[in-house]
Amino acid sequence: MKNVQMRINPELYAKFKLVDGESNNERMSKLLDDSTEKYELIELVNYHKEKEEQWLPAYKEKKREARTLASALTVSIAVSVACVGYVCVINGWLS
């Protein structure tokens, strides 16, 4: 049987050894579990990005409508106050 050696990047091996575990199998299983959690988190973030892209235009449209309505309300109140003031002056209710 031939002895086979594998060349490993020393930096990666040092990072691998920093993982808590009694054996290499234990360390590798922890790394794989961590990778699975990160993959699930990435999938969740992508899902929320898709939802944001779906709802953002509708939100912007509603925000624009709200600003338009607020402006119209402000103008309406100002015109109403001016009209009431005018009627009061014409009728002599204000001195």
DSSP string, 37-76: HHHHHHHHHHHHHHHHHHHHHHHHHHHHHHHHHHHHHHHH
Q: pLDDT per position in the chain (95 positions), as tens?
A: 677 777 888 887 788 788 888 888 888 888 888 888 888 889 999 999 999 899 999 999 999 999 999 999 999 999 999 999 999 999 988 76
pLDDT for residue 86:
93
- CA atoms of 58 and 44, how far apart (whole Å): 22
Question: What radius of gyration, in Å, describes the C-alpha atoms of the chain?
Answer: 35
pTM: 0.46
Q: Taking all residues of the chain, what is their mean pLDDT, rounded to a whole number?
A: 88
pLDDT for residue 95:
61
Do the Cβ atoms of 27 and 19 come closer than 8 Å? yes
Tokens 């015109």 sit on residue: 79
